[in-house]
Amino acid sequence: MPVTPPEPALLREAASRALAEDVGPLDITTACLVPKNTKARAHIFVKEEGVLCGLPVAAQVFSEVDTALRLTFKSEDGDSLAKGQTVMELEGPVSAILTGERSALNFLQHLSGIATQTRRFVREIAHTPCRILDTRKTTPGLRHLEKYAVRCGGGVNHRMGLYDAFMPKDNHVALMAQPDGLLEAVKKMKNSDPDAPIIFEADTLEQVAVLANAGVTRILLDNMPIPQMREAVRIAAGKCGLEASGNMTLERVAAVAETGVDYISVGSLTHSVRALDFSLEMD
């Protein structure tokens, strides 16, 4: 199923910011060498296998440069791509194509890299009910786009920011008495906003036992060994969701999912992913 992209205002803002950074007052090379009113066709293609993400924001880049450009999508975000596959065709002013090229490709490469890596993680745990989550370890200013890329890869978004879910972490917990402080914290959060999810980080099985009976939405199992995760699943007994977090790799993610946790959060999906290689060629 197609994934709904970020709202148009976010696409325009991202595209405008990228162009302001790259073009500045003028693309001096194109202005010097390309005669005005020169028109041509071009296409964007991928140079390796992967998962596509970023067409809407890449298209917005070209539209910001010149609305006279005609763009044709040959694939959809979320599609699996073969090496050499064309994802977009362009027709119109050459100057607009050349000026928008790098910003558009940067978005496609980065977001498709995230979608591709997310798909790899999703496939590794496809034999379980577990779901892959992203984190807040995103590029400043690109969070909505990067979390969209995770969805295109088949992952699920964690909280968008500090405003849409309670999430006491280890530095919060360090300020609380054990175990009464945990229970008091849950009570305060429920009274503050009864509708907001409560995702509570736990470092020990003792904390899991307390929180599972406190009515939290989900317990985040922070850097627990796999045997300890299995015991946490047994202790929680379905009373709340469980999320595994910490140094998740493709090599171990299946074993983590097989412990019975409901979610696995993977920071590397956004904080250190490799870009997928795209190129634009004039026809």
Q: What is the set of active-site residues?
A: 102, 137, 169, 201, 222
With b for 16 or more beta-carbon neighbours within 10 A and e for fewer, the 5-16 pattern comes to bbeeebbebbbe
CB 84 within 8 A of CB 35: no
DSSP secondary structure, 152-218, as one string: HTT-B---SSTTSSB---HHHHTTS-TTHHHHHHHHHHHHH-TTS-BEEEESSHHHHHHHHTTT-SE
CA angle, 178 then 180 then 185, to 5°: 100
3-state SS, residue 116: helix
CB 88 within 8 A of CB 44: yes
CA–CA gap between residue 181 and residue 187 (Å, rounded): 10
* Length of the chain, in residues: 283
Q: Which two three-digit tokens encode residue 143?
A: 């969070």
